[in-house]
Amino acid sequence: MFEPDTDNPFELFAGWLQAASETEPNDPNAMTVATADADGRPSARILLLKGFDEQGFVFYSNMESQKGRELTINPFVALCFHWKSVRRQVRVTGPVTRVSDAEADAYFDSRPRGSRVGAWASQQSRPLADRATLMAAVENADRAHPGEPVPRPPYWSGWRLTPLSIEFWQDGEFRLHDRFCFRRASESETWSVTRLFP
């Protein structure tokens, strides 16, 4: 049986992420990111969490991609972490805002050079005739930015989700799971926690 040992969901999440990092074979920071368009039609994909603290959960993207366009239209997101090795999930919902240019620059500069060049080459989510077209775009971007540094494209940045709910799910025998949801009405308010039926 699982009972939260803190009233701070960020502390609890940090502990769960650390536990997952010791057992997950790949990318314990992988998460489903669900967005919706102007008509409320959802879409979801797996991204990597690139940072979190008490201000929120941060991920990065091409702002002109499908997710980037949807986040601009409807800046509310749901995240889901699923760590199969420890039989746990965490669900997070809340509004998103763009990270500062300085923060986006710092993260972009930490990426491998090939990833930075690729960000210039990829017209993310748009139709691509063939792989050769992509690789030619990569070569062109590489020639356009010889050596270091490779600057961050103006259309590439990050988003910070400020959570209004964080739910922790621990697998239980006979599907009698333990679920606890931390909620708050706004970033300035304190958290309340509720046990939920499985």
Q: Is the pTM of this model over 0.85?
A: yes
Amino acid 148: pLDDT: 80
- Let me know: does 88 contact 4? Beta carbons within 8 Å: no
Amino acid 5: pLDDT: 84
Please indicate whether residue 175 is annotated as part of the active site. Answer: yes
| 57 pLDDT higher than 80 | yes
Give the residue from 18, 56, 70, 31 showing the smallest Cα distance to 184. 56
- Give 183's contacts (C-beta < 8 A, 6+ positions apart): 164, 165, 191, 192, 193, 194
Which listed residue (45, 131, 175, 184) is catalytic?
Answer: 175
Q: What gap in Å lies between CA 170 and CA 182, rounded to an integer?
A: 15
Amino acid 130: pLDDT: 94
> CATH classification of 9-105+154-196 is 3.40.50.620, yes or no?
no
For residue 1, give both structure tokens.
């049986």
Amino acid 177: pLDDT: 95
